[in-house]
Amino acid sequence: MTIKLNEETLTAYVLGELEADQVAAVKEALKANDTARCMVEELRATAKLMGEAGFAEPAIALSEEQREAIHARAEAPGNVVKPPIRRWRPWLAVAATLVVIAGGAMVLLPALSRTRGFVTKGPMWLAEKKMLPPEKQAQVDELVQTMREEGVRREPIQRFFIADVNNPDSNVVPEHIARIAYEQAGAEGVPTADKMKHPAVPSESPAQSSPVPLVETEGLTWKAAAGSPVSPSVSRRGRVSGTERARLGVATDLDLKEAPRQEVQPEAFGYDAGNQITIGQPMPVAAGKSAALEGRMDSVRRLPAPGPPHDDPYQVYWPGHNTESYDSIVENEFKAVTQEPLSTFSIDVDTASYANMRRFLNQGTLPPPDAVRIEELVNYFAYDYAPPRDLEKAPFASHVTVAGCPWTPEHRLVRIGLKGWEIPAGERPPTNLVFLVDVSGSMGPRNKLPLLKEAMKLLAQRLGESDRVAIVVYAGSSGLVLPSTSGDNRQAILGALDRLQSGGSTNGGEGIELAYNVAIANYIEGGVNRVILATDGDFNVGVTNRGDLTRMVEKKAKSGVFLTILGFGMGNVKDATLEELSNKGNGNYAYIDTLKEARKVLVEEMGANLVTIAKDVKIQVEFNPAEVRAYRLIGYENRMLAAEDFNDDTKDAGEIGAGHTVTALYEIVPAGVSFTPRGVDPLKYQQPKPALSETARTGELMTLKLRYKAPDGDKSKLLVFPVVDPGLGYAQAEPDFKFAASVASFGMILRHSKFAGRASFDSVLELAEEGRGEDVHGYRAEFIDLVKKAKRIAAAR
C-alpha cells in the first residue's frame, strides 16, 4: 500500500485517525521523507499544545435543581419511548400531529413558551373535537377548568414533556394539552367548536399513518414504519455516510472517496410521502378566505409527522446518522446500432447537479462521481438555438449539429438542441414576483429552505423576459438578495437561489415591509403583482405581534400587490398567523411539504400564466447502420425510456417551458471505425448484418423523432427530422457546440468515465475558452473557474 503524504494525511496520522494499514503505509513513507517527518513532529507538538490549552474556559456546572430534575427523571419508570406501533389509532396520530404542531415535537416547548401568542391551536382542536379517548378528554377538560379557575401562573410549561403517544396510558399528554389549551385560550380567547367544523380525521391505511415515533428512533425503524422505499438518510449538509464509508481513509490516498452513490431527484429522495408521513392527502391550495381557513384546518390535520432524521434537529438517529446518498449512476454504454437501433429518452431540464458540483468544488473537494449528472451540467447553460419559426408546426425548434468528438477524434459528436418558443410579451399578463424568503435557522431542514429553493427554481424556469423576480430574505435582519430582475435572466435568479442559506432569527415584519416596497417599485400595470412569503412562520424578532403584522399587511394589500404565503416544515409552522396574514393580504396560503406540492402550487396553479409550452417531451433517435456503428447517449441515465414508451402517451416525460433550451449529446462511432461491442459473444446462428432499406443509402446519419403534448392536451404529436453529418471537425464547430462538449467532457472526468478518452482538465479548459462566446452573465467564466479549481484539487492529491 502506498500513501500520499500530504498535510491532511499526516494530521490524521498524528491524531490517530488512520487505519492500521494506512498507519503502516505512512510509517513506511516517512522513512524516506525528512520534510514529512519534520511536519509530523510539529503536528505532534501542536496537537499536544492544543489539547492542553483548550479554550481556557472556566468550568461550570449544572445547578442542583437541574441535576435533581435529571435524576428524578432517570428514576421515573416508563419514560422510554416504545418502538412505533403499526396499528392505526386515529387519536394517536392526531395526538402525534398535535405534539408536532405544538412546537415541533415535545422538546420544542421552550420555543413555545417564548413565543406565546403564536401557539398553534392544534391541541385546542384536539380537545375540542373530542378526539381524545373519553378518559383523557375528561382529564383535559378538568385540567383546563382548574387552570381557568386558578388563573394558573403563566410560567413556561415544563421544559420538556415527553409525550409517549404510543402509550395511551401515559398521563403526560392530557396535562400538556390542557396546559397549551389553557394558554391558547388565555392568549386568544376561547375558540369555539363551530370554528372547527372538520369532521374527525379519516382513518388511513396503516402504512400512511403509522403513529409517530417521537423520540429516538432508528432511521431504519422509521423507514419501516413509513413503509418508505427510499433511504431517509439524505442530509442537508452532511456528506459522509456513517455506514458506507465507515472509516476515514478507505481510500488509500485519504481522499475520502464517496462510495458509489447517486444524487437522487428531490422528489425521489423523499420530500415525498416516503419519508414524510402526510396524514391524509396533500393540502390543496387554499384560495380565498374560506378556503384558506379550510386549508389551515386541513394542514393542522395533515401536517407531516416528524420525518426523516434531519427534518427535526432533535431527532438523533443512530447509527446510520445523517448521510447524503447518491444512487449509483451506471453510465450509458455504447450500443451497437445493429442490436439497438433506437435510443429513447425523456428531456430533462434540471440543473441541480451543476449546483451540487459547484458546491463541492468550492469546498475544495471533487464531487463524488455519482453526484455528477452530465446532462444536468450541460443543461445548466443556455445555448443560442434559434426559436421556432412556425408555431403551427411545433412550439419548439430542434437543432442538430454534428462535428468531431473532441475527446475521441475518430468519433462524432451529435448535439440535439431544442428551443421552446418565447411567448411574445403582451400575450399573457406579465408577472412581478417578489419572493420573501425566511432564511432563519429554523428554515434549515431540507423540507424547508432547500425544498423552497427547488420549488422556486421550477418557477424561475417558467418566467420570461417581461416577468420580474426579486428575492428578499429575512432573518435577524432582512435584505434584498436579488433586486427585481427580468425573468429571462434565469441564471441570475438561479444563482441567487443557490446562495440562499439559513441562519439567524426571524424578523418577519421588516422583511414584509421591504418586499412590498420592491413589489410596488416594480409594479406592472395590468400584470400579476405578488409577494410570495415563504416561511415556517416562526417570527421571533422585530414586529412579532400578530396584530401589528396583520395590520401592516392589510395596509400594503391596498397597493394592489397580492400576497401568497407558502408554509414550510412542520416543527413550528405558525399556521394561524400565516393564514390570517394571507387573508389580510388578499392572498392565499398553501402548505408545501413535497416538491410535487410545490410544483402544483407554484407552477401549475399560481403560475398558471407562466407558460409551459409542451409537456411529456420525448426524444427517440433511430440510427442508420449504414453510417453509424455504435452510439452512446451522454448522461440522461435516469431519463432513459424503453423504445415502446415513445409512442405510449400514458408514459410521462419532461416539460419544456417558454424560452427553454434543452441539450442532449450523442457520441457516435461511425461505420468505418472499429468497435467491439462489450461482453457478448458473436451469435452462432444469426448474422448481425441487417438488411438495409433504401433510405439507409441516402447518407442520413440518423433520424430524430420528438413527441410532445400540448400543455393541456393528452394526445401527443410527432415531429421527425432526418440528420445528415456534414463532416465538420470539432475545430470548425460553432462556439456553443464546443462549450457543450467542454461541459460534457468535464462531467466525464469527474465521473471517472471510461469514455473520457483524451479529455483532460486542460482540454476542457481549452474547449470552454473557445466556446465561451459572449457570456453576458458570466456563467461560462464561472465554469472555467470551476474547472481550474477541480484541476488544482485533483493535482493536490
Partner 1 sequence: MTQHKLSRPAWIRAALAEFEARLLRYATSITGNADLARDVVQDTFLRLCAADRAKVEGHLAPWLYTVCRNRALDVRKKEGRMNPLAEGQAEALADSAAGPGDVATQKETQRLVMSAMAGLPQDQREACRLKFQDNLSYREISQVMDVSLGTVSNLITRAMSHVRAELGARLDLAREV
Contact between 463 and 456 under an 8 Å Cβ cutoff? The reply is no
Pick from 433, 235, 201, 402: nearest CA to 326: 235
Q: Contact between 66 and partner 1 (CB under 8 A)?
A: yes
Q: What DSSP assignment string belongs to 304-340?
A: PPS-SGGGSTT----SS-S---BPPP-PPPPEETTT-
Q: Contact between 53 and partner 1 (CB under 8 A)?
A: yes
Q: Rounded to the nearest 10 degrees, what angle do helices 172-188 and 134-150 cross at? A: 50
Q: Contact between 795 and partner 1 (CB under 8 A)?
A: no
Least distance (Å) between residue 277 CB and partner 1: 20
Least distance (Å) between residue 237 CB and partner 1: 6
* Alpha-carbon span 729 to 403, nearest angstrom: 5
* Alpha-carbon span 318 to 219, nearest angstrom: 7
Q: Which is nearer to partner 1, 313 or 670 (CB)?
A: 313
Among 228, 231, 322, 346, binds partner 1 (CB under 8 A): 322
Q: Contact between 796 and partner 1 (CB under 8 A)?
A: no
Q: Give the number of other Cβ atoms within 10 Å of residue 67's Cβ.
A: 11
Least distance (Å) between residue 79 CB and partner 1: 5
Contact between 290 and 588 under an 8 Å Cβ cutoff? The reply is no
Q: Which is nearer to partner 1, 17 or 333 (CB)?
A: 17
Span 381-420, contacts to partner 1 by CB under 8 A: none
Pick from 375, 381, 414: nearest CA to 730: 414
Site string for partner 1, 150-169 (x = CB under 8 A): ---------xx-x-------
Q: Give the number of other Cβ atoms within 10 Å of residue 564's Cβ.
A: 24
Among 45, 187, 200, 718, binds partner 1 (CB under 8 A): 45
Q: Which stretch binds partner 1 (CB under 8 A): 29-37, 55-63, 403-411, 694-702?
A: 55-63
Q: Contact between 107 and partner 1 (CB under 8 A)?
A: yes
Q: Residue 445's Cα: distance from chain center in Å? A: 11
Q: Is residue 569 helix, strand or coil?
A: coil
Q: Contact between 321 and partner 1 (CB under 8 A)?
A: yes
- Sheet of 628-634: strand order equals 335-336, 628-634, 661-670, 412-420, 396-404
Q: Which stretch binds partner 1 (CB under 8 A): 173-181, 307-315, 335-343, 622-630?
A: 307-315
Among 21, 24, 73, 699, binds partner 1 (CB under 8 A): 73
Span 325-364, contacts to partner 1 by CB under 8 A: 363-364
Least distance (Å) between residue 110 CB and partner 1: 7
**Cis status of the peptide bond prior to 319, with omega within 30 of 0:** yes
Pick from 331, 371, 402: nearest CA to 755: 331
Span 493-512, contacts to partner 1 by CB under 8 A: 504-505
Q: Contact between 81 and partner 1 (CB under 8 A)?
A: yes
Q: Which stretch binds partner 1 (CB under 8 A): 261-269, 310-318, 351-359, 588-596?
A: 310-318
Q: Contact between 50 and partner 1 (CB under 8 A)?
A: yes
Total residues contacting partner 1 (rule CB under 8 A)?
A: 86
Q: Contact between 372 and partner 1 (CB under 8 A)?
A: no
Q: Contact between 69 and partner 1 (CB under 8 A)?
A: yes
Least distance (Å) between residue 331 CB and partner 1: 24
Q: Which is nearer to partner 1, 73 or 393 (CB)?
A: 73
Residue with cell 483532460: 760
Q: Which stretch binds partner 1 (CB under 8 A): 27-35, 215-223, 523-531, 578-586?
A: 215-223
Q: Contact between 259 and partner 1 (CB under 8 A)?
A: no
DSSP class of 533: E
Q: Which is nearer to partner 1, 86 or 247 (CB)?
A: 247
Among 54, 151, 229, 682, binds partner 1 (CB under 8 A): 54
Among 57, 149, 150, 681, binds partner 1 (CB under 8 A): 57
* Alpha-carbon span 713 to 696, nearest angstrom: 34
Q: Contact between 224 and partner 1 (CB under 8 A)?
A: no
Q: Which is nearer to partner 1, 543 or 706 (CB)?
A: 543
Q: What DSSP assignment string belongs to 588-646?
A: EEEEE-SHHHHIIIIIIITTTTSPEEEEEEEEEEEE-TTTEEEEEEES-GGGB--GGGT
Least distance (Å) between residue 45 CB and partner 1: 5
Contact between 516 and 419 under an 8 Å Cβ cutoff? The reply is no
